Amino acid sequence: MSRKAIHYVTATTAAAAGSLTTAATSMAAAALAASVVLSPAAGTIARLDGVHADLARAVQLNQVTSEQAARFEARLAGRILGDS
């Protein structure tokens, strides 16, 4: 994620938390929101695991070849991870 996006997330979260009574509470809320936004790894891994499982089943059912499944999985992984 770019620095501009990180700044936006922390700034808007801190502004939203501005109605809270203490600075420590607003900083904690900003840190929590930023950590949720900046750590999508678990969702990404689960998504890729699901793609892999679906393609493995398609190979077992002779719907696609293992080579086709591998190429398709690599292409989807690139899109999901933002490589292409």
Q: How confident is the model at residue 20, as a pLDDT?
A: 45
72 pLDDT band, cuts 50/70/90, is very high
Residue 73 has pLDDT above 60, yes or no: yes
HSE-up (13 A, CA, CB side) for residue 55: 19
The amino acid at 44: T
Quote the percentage of the chain above a pLDDT of 90. Answer: 31
Residue 59 has pLDDT above 90, yes or no: yes
- pLDDT, one tens digit per residue, over 14-43 is 555 454 445 555 556 666 555 555 555 668
The 3-class SS string of 18-63 reads HHCCCHHHHHHHHHHHHHHHHCCHHHHHHHHHHHHHHHHHHHHCCC
